[in-house]
Chains A and B, each alone.
Chain A
Amino acid sequence: GGSGAGGGSADSITLYTCVGDDTVQAVIGGFEDTHPGVQVDLFRAPTSDLNARVAADVRSGGLRADVVWACDPLTMRTLVDQKLVGGWTPDGARALAERYRTPDYVGVAVLYIVAAYHDGAPVPRSWSDLAGPEYADAVALPDPAVAASALGALGYFSNADGYGLDYYRRLHDNGAVQVSTPDDAVSGVASGTYQAVMTIANSAYLAADNGSPIGVSWPEPGAVGVYGPIALARSSTDSSLTKQFISYVVSRPGQTTLANAGSYPTLAGVPGPTIPAGAPIVYPDWSRIASDQDQLLRDYQQIFGG
């Protein structure tokens, strides 16, 4: 576990996360400023590597993290199921919207699945547009088996009326392809390889700000919101310090820092990155996804490339 209190050196806790570097660095910085003498050791990796690292930890003497900050509830749930994390949430969590709260973890940032389109391509008003002729052979989706955000989208569409898995079938028949991560999707659409892609808002806006010739659209019935939860490791030997950190991330100062770093906060009233006025937003039912994700993925892979 993280080096315990009373360890000769400065107190330190270990954070495992898959959240973007800019955000994490900012938040850690903010925490360390408000808590002098405390040091946060970071292990940051894409979800796949994060999970592998955790799996390896578990099989060699237990999780070596004090805090886990995941990018999607699903990953967190499996950790909870294995009794690796959870059992505590900060009081500050009450300020969060219901959907971000569970007894074991709380959502502290959101990823919005939106549509990005190459300049000059028609703007996708609705998700179903992507299955239309004007986007034939020019659409890319991130792989739900790799990117949890994409899995969230899959989970939502699979039982949204008017969509369902049939939506993916239509996309595929329309020549849509599957890329690995949302970022791959962004660079694909930016380079013009694709006309429109399903991706996450942050990286789409980032690319656009840097001058990539793309636009961002929040299509009907809505951008799919996938929240990134944070949780306390049960094995944490220095829970007091750890709890302070979690509380900080949930708190208004923490959320503000996070928002300024370019992530969407979960705390209402904290000004975050761009969300077009009146942009529709929807949320997947994670418990449902958790229960039948294997079936979902299998069906999906029947359609895409499998």
Chain B
Amino acid sequence: MAHPATGGGPAHRVVTLVVVGFAAAVVVVPLGRLVLTVVQETHGRLGAVLSTPGLGAAVVNTFVLALAVTAVAVPAGLATALALRRSDLPARRLFRVAVLLPVLVPPFVLGYSWRQAYGRAGITDTVVGAAWTGVQGSGGVFVVLVVNAVPLTYLLTAAGLAARAEPDLVRAARASGATTWIGLRTVTVPLLRPAIAAASVLVFVLTLESFAIPQVLGTPAGFKTVTTEIYTDLARSADPVSFVAAVTLALLLVASTAVVVVAADVLVGPRLRVTRVSEAPGTTPPANRSPGARWLAAALGGYLVLTVALPMLALLAAALTPAVGVPPTPANWTLDNLRAVLDTRTFDAMQRSFGLSLGAASLLAVLGGCLAVLERRRAGRALSVVVTLGLVMPGSTLAVALLISYGRWIGGTTAIILLAYLAKLWAFAHRPVSGALDRLPPDELRAARASGATALTSVRTIALPPLAPALLAGWLICFVTALHEVTMSSLLYGPGSETLAVVVLNAQELGRVGRSAAFSVVLTVAVTLPAVPLWVALRRLRTRT
């Protein structure tokens, strides 16, 4: 619209301060410290760092991989969201939960589970004698990363859809002679663009910084990425040269991501936004079944079996057998691994982790909401980019940065771990909301203001409730990710602040697959149980689609 009347109000200013403050604390300052370190300690060795053999290849690998994964995972997630939105889909509710399962598995375990499912001597190999040797190597890395990213894009686009039901817009297309498919292509999807953009940015960045899966499935085939390079350097970072090299690489990653994200957010983003006209949404039609639904369900089911069921099965097998290579026949079943995960020593770690994750996720939901709202103003956009940089920093580097910045005071406390989670996951909490917020017609906020609501109240009562799905989506991702996060906390923890992942995974070297598997099985159960009522709540919250 024209010059929208700017009516901030003091409360609004407070929010701005809080958000800016957090952004500075968890992203700007640590990044700054890293830059400083590099500046002070690369005594012209930058050239040397950049000329490390294989680095070029790693960089190419990283970006090609990120592009490819984004190109495949986003459409896949979108398709899933559209499919699961159909009211006539059989077993819809089950699917809605199943699609999310991959998020629950820690990445490195996910990589392992795929190797066990499809690799040499894996499930398929032993059962039907068909192995996919490519699972170790670029192919495997790509596929598993895609599978890992689909739930994310699904959540984001689904949230976008749920934020505002507009049946009449599609009806208008149909009545203009558009088939279902054309209607999707020309109306539904274009209206989802902001959500799709949000998903794309997230997936892209997520792939750039992904470490565990390339490490587990890529390295054996000599497939290297920037993150694995960084890891290698860190391994020898007792030597200052290697340390600086690692940091330098991380900063390069951040810088190059910044370029991409800025391009996406500042240049493309605004174009994708379309101002909604607030009009009666059109009466919702009662559901009527159509034959296509059954096929859809079948396809979806197949996909889930291949990408979720089999790998999960492999995990379960590993969790129930005493050691790798022991055939998972009932005779060999044991609960040792599960016991090891659930023993008293891990118990308070588990409590701590749940508390930490709950706190982080909830805080993040608030921060994400606030930022998304600020983002409507121009200055906010910059912030959203900054926040995204926190996500792209490889976990280990981010942890180091935080230690350098705050270790002196809060090193080894849960506080610093919380900061790390905030820095890492803020983008997760923010992008879905901002993607969905774009569907809000300005007049609806005005109506609230004209009813006596302050800027903030109007956002709280009008803008956010329809975004409950988006917020919940963000919350869920943050919670789960924080729950099995290990890269950062294993570097940050101290006496009395060990997280569950640290105790269970890091304490036994990651090689002890049995326990790692048991761990993710426990996690899956521990998270799915509360997740189910959460999803029921979500379905009630969303303005009906």
Contacts and interface: CB of A to CB of B under 8 A. Distances in A.
In the complex, A touching B (Cβ < 8 A): yes
A43 B493 contact: yes
Contact of A143 (B219, B238, B243, B326): B219
Given A49-B396, A57-B407, A183-B509, A192 B121 contact: yes
A44 B491 CA distance: 9
A174 interface: no
A104 to B, nearest CB: 14
B40 to A, nearest CB: 9
Nearest to B510: A183
Interface stretch (B271-279, B317-325, B449-457): B317-325
Contact of A183 (B115, B234, B321, B511): B511
Given A64-B411, A193-B115, A44 B322 contact: no
Given A21-B508, A190-B324, A306-B54, A52 B407 contact: no
A190 B236 CA distance: 28
A224 interface: no
A47 B490 CA distance: 12
Contacts of B136: 177, 193
A155 to B, nearest CB: 14
A43 to B, nearest CB: 6
A305 B511 contact: no
A247 interface: no
Nearest to B40: A59
From B234, B237, B404, B412, name the one whose CB has the most chain A CB atoms within 10 angstroms.
Answer: B237
B494 interface: yes
Interface stretch (A127-135, A207-215, A265-273): A207-215
A192 B327 CA distance: 11
A53 interface: yes
Bin the interface of chain A by size.
35 or more
Nearest to B407: A60
Interface stretch (B94-102, B220-228, B287-295): B220-228
Given A146-B235, A212-B324, A46 B120 contact: no
Contacts of A201: none
A217 B505 CA distance: 28
Nearest to B402: A56
Given A177-B222, A183-B510, A187-B511, A55 B494 contact: no
Interface in A173-202: 177-193
Interface residues of B, number: 62
B403 A20 contact: no
A105 B83 CA distance: 64
A198 to B, nearest CB: 13
A213 to B, nearest CB: 5
A298 interface: yes
B53 A54 contact: no
A190 B323 contact: yes
Contacts of A190: 323-325
B219 A211 contact: no
B205 interface: no
A77 B221 CA distance: 32
Interface string A20-49: 110000000000000000000111111111
Interface string B46-63: 000000011000000000
B116 A191 contact: yes
B400 interface: yes
Contacts of A189: 325
Interface string B371-405: 00000000000000000000000001001100111
A239 interface: no
Contact of B403 (A56, A75, A78, A186): A56
Contacts of A304: 222
B232 interface: yes
A201 to B, nearest CB: 14
A278 interface: no
Contacts of B238: 51, 54-55, 75, 78-79
From A60, A146, A301, name the one whose CB has the most chain B CB atoms within 10 angstroms.
Answer: A60
A185 B511 CA distance: 8
A203 interface: yes
B535 interface: no
Contacts of A212: 323-326
Contacts of B239: 78
A51 B231 CA distance: 11
Interface in B306-350: 321-326, 332
Given A44-B507, A191-B324, A203-B511, A305 B222 contact: yes
A164 B55 CA distance: 25
Given A190-B325, A211-B323, A183 B494 contact: no
Contact of A193 (B120, B411, B491): B120
Given A43-B412, A192-B121, A193-B119, A49 B232 contact: no
B141 to A, nearest CB: 14
Given A177-B220, A192-B325, A52 B121 contact: no
Contacts of B240: 55, 82
A181 B511 contact: yes
Contacts of A60: 403-408, 411
B512 interface: yes
A59 B495 contact: no
A302 interface: yes
B403 A213 contact: no
A145 interface: yes
Interface in B201-222: 215-216, 219-222
A196 to B, nearest CB: 14
A263 B332 CA distance: 27
A249 interface: no
B533 to A, nearest CB: 36
B16 interface: no
Nearest to A293: B236
B482 interface: no
A6 interface: no
A211 B404 contact: no
B294 to A, nearest CB: 38
B124 interface: no
Q: Nearest 9 CB-CB pairs, A to B?
A: A183-B511, A305-B222, A192-B121, A210-B323, A56-B403, A190-B325, A190-B324, A48-B235, A306-B54
10 contacts: A46-B509, A51-B238, A52-B396, A55-B400, A60-B407, A60-B408, A75-B238, A177-B136, A193-B119, A210-B326
Interface of B: 37, 53-54, 112, 115-116, 119-122, 136, 215-216, 219-224, 231-232, 234-240, 243, 246, 321-326, 332, 396, 399-400, 403-408, 411-412, 490-491, 493-495, 506-514
Given A56-B404, A203-B511, 18 more contacts: A21-B508, A45-B490, A45-B491, A48-B237, A52-B243, A52-B400, A56-B403, A56-B491, A177-B136, A180-B215, A181-B511, A190-B323, A191-B324, A207-B324, A210-B322, A211-B322, A212-B326, A301-B54
